[in-house]
Chains A and B, each alone.
Chain A
Amino acid sequence: MRRFGSFHLAALVLGFAFLYLPIVALIAYSFNASRLVTVWGGFSTHWYVALFNNQPLLDAAWLTIRVALVSATLAAGLGTLAALALTRYRSFAGRTLFSGMVLAPLVMPEVITGLSLLLLFVAGDVERGYWTVVVAHATFSLGFACIVVQARLAGFDRSLEEAARDLGATPVTTFFTVTLPLIWPAVLAAWMLAFTLSLDDLVIASFTSGPGATTLPMRLYSAIRLGVSPEINAACTIMIGAVAVAVIAASLLLKREALAGEKG
């Protein structure tokens, strides 16, 4: 018998209090009228207005979104191909090296990934900026994308593909008309994961970006090093809000799809 007692309730309340109180405090102080973070000077949206007049910050945010869009698309595409190769083909030349390279970035410290990619760009005499950050982000999130798609492919009913092949479809047609539509939710989830990893990254972007390509985390980081300010709180609150909306919407969407799948 499963019993849910007061001990369990206490563990849940304390655990989630630890996880959420710091974020709640951060959000609350973004609405503080006073510049002194410790003094509550009344409710104000003053810092949000200041934020929208902070052009360097807005530029950094726009750059970060553009980097994340392109690198997530690259990572989802490459990760899907890698997942297909690894789940469908038990042996091909260099498979061990390949799976090692796909999975290594998952445990690789960001400082090492960043350093090694920077040294590559320097050795190749590549001018650092938008594209070097895109390539770096796509490379380190490829492994995460691959794992997400692999999980979906593991429970995949291959008889559907076989039917398409028996009916004369080429492998490429089969992939685009049967396989891809079926694994689409996983590809989308992989894309979202890669997108947030890219949005969030400070270390790898700091190594691989050049002058004129400062991402939002890089700008926030230098602002935070100067000290706490309500304006940073406001920027953080907007980011938390955007992520919360996206995650909740995605989970509702997946739930609806799962329900539709059960009915159909």
Chain B
Amino acid sequence: MSGPVPRAAGGRGLLVAAIPYLWLLAFFLAPFLIVLRIALSDAATDQPPYAPHFLGFDALGEFFAGLDFENFRLLGEDALYWQSYLSSLRIAGLTTLIALALGYPLAYAMAMAPKRWQGILLLLVILPFWTSFLIRVYAWIGILRPEGLLDMALGWLGLTAAPLRLLNTDTAVLIGMVYSYLPFMVLPLYTTLQKLDGTLVEAAADLGATPLTIFRTVTLPLSLPGILAGSALVFIPAIGEFVIPDLLGGPDTLMVGKVLWSEFFSNRDWPLASAVAIVLLIVLVLPLVLLQRAGRAAR
């Protein structure tokens, strides 16, 4: 531990934290509790703004009597909802795998590059991350749409006779997701690969290991922390993604973010949208908790 801790530290810590603490209680925790309460109210009888229900503190008994699990039952019964969760998990999982397959060689080559290049290469990976998400997705619409740049290029090369019709398919969603999240995969991979002790690779080579064996038994296991961090950084935001499936996907592309958006903005069913949000959070938190457990067990 870092020296003696002053006795007043506890109180002073709270004093320093006070303003952000109050801010987060008001704008993070309170809204979350409201979502929970509205998810448990009935769309048929409750109309926006739903306020009297949860602000009536004196009527606590009435509050609990008013809880309605109907929305969650609907989520379980209507195939649309659980299929959209499964489909989100599938698309996020595929995105993670493809981003890993593309990002690993890139990160590896960056770590191997001469030192004086590395700063520039790192900047080049980060730069697309700073440009707007929307712009990057829009760029792909121009490429993937019928008679877009991809069709033009393939037709010019004589590879395809008819347009590919990739836009508004799950493939387009995957391409857009991999493209948008690739920097999140490359950065942690690069950091771990760059710190990798080169003498271990040399030792393995001196002992007669082939490059493939070296990669499999030395490089890959040592870069596992980077693989895990990168996968988490891609997988977690990919599950709740809205913009990419909405703009690149088709009408049959099911993802939770899109379902929540349309329940809210098109169907105006706020309680159901809130229930979708609560279940999405559970879907997100579960793997995180399991991952943390696994990490602790490994230590």
Mark A residues whose CB is within 8 Å of B. 1-4, 7-9, 11-12, 14-16, 18-20, 22-23, 25-26, 29, 37-38, 78-79, 81-82, 84-86, 88-95, 98, 101-102, 104-105, 107-112, 115-117, 119-120, 122-123, 125, 135-136, 138-139, 142, 146, 171, 196, 199-200, 202-203, 207, 217, 220-221, 224-225, 228, 232-233, 236, 239-240, 243-244, 246-248, 251
Contact = CB atoms under 8 A, between A and B. Distances in A.
Contacts of B139: 22-23, 25-26, 236
Most chain B beta carbons < 10 A, residue from A3, A9, A20, A38: A38
Contact of A85 (B20, B30, B239): B20
B173 to A, nearest CB: 15
A38 B48 CA distance: 46
Contacts, number: 256
B106 A111 contact: no
A111 B277 contact: yes
Contact of B240 (A112, A135, A221): A112
- Interface size, B (range): 35 or more
A173 to B, nearest CB: 15
Q: For chain A, what secondary structure do more than half of its interface residues adopt (helix, strand, loop), or is it mixed?
A: helix
A38 B152 contact: yes
A96 to B, nearest CB: 12
Contact of B35 (A4, A115, A196, A202): A115
A15 B21 contact: no
8 closest residue pairs by CB, A with B: A109-B240, A89-B13, A92-B13, A15-B106, A85-B17, A116-B31, A8-B109, A22-B139
A89 B112 contact: no
Nearest to B106: A15
Given A120-B27, A202-B133, A84 B35 contact: no
Given A89-B10, A89-B16, A116-B32, A12 B109 contact: yes
Interface stretch (B64-72, B74-82, B140-148): B140-148
Contact of A119 (B17, B109, B239, B270): B270
Given A11-B106, A78-B20, A85-B20, A93 B10 contact: yes
A243 B10 CA distance: 42
A125 B198 contact: no
B17 A98 contact: yes
A97 to B, nearest CB: 8
Contacts of B183: 19
Contacts of B131: 23, 239-240, 243-244
A22 B136 contact: yes
B28 A91 contact: no
Q: For chain B, what secondary structure do more than half of its interface residues adopt (helix, strand, loop), or is it mixed?
A: helix
B123 to A, nearest CB: 6
22 contacts: A12-B106, A15-B102, A18-B102, A18-B182, A19-B125, A19-B183, A22-B140, A26-B142, A38-B149, A78-B19, A92-B14, A95-B17, A98-B17, A102-B24, A109-B239, A115-B35, A120-B31, A123-B51, A135-B27, A171-B12, A221-B243, A246-B130
A222 B109 CA distance: 40
Most chain B beta carbons < 10 A, residue from A29, A111, A122: A111
B113 A4 contact: yes
B109 A38 contact: no
B94 interface: no
B295 to A, nearest CB: 16
Contacts of A247: 123, 126-127, 130
Given A12-B106, A29-B142, A109-B284, A142 B23 contact: yes
Interface in B123-175: 123-128, 130-136, 138-143, 145, 147-149, 152
A232 B240 CA distance: 26
A91 B10 contact: yes
A120 B5 contact: no
Contacts of A18: 102, 179, 182
Nearest to B13: A89
Nearest to A79: B20
A25 B149 contact: yes
A115 B20 contact: no
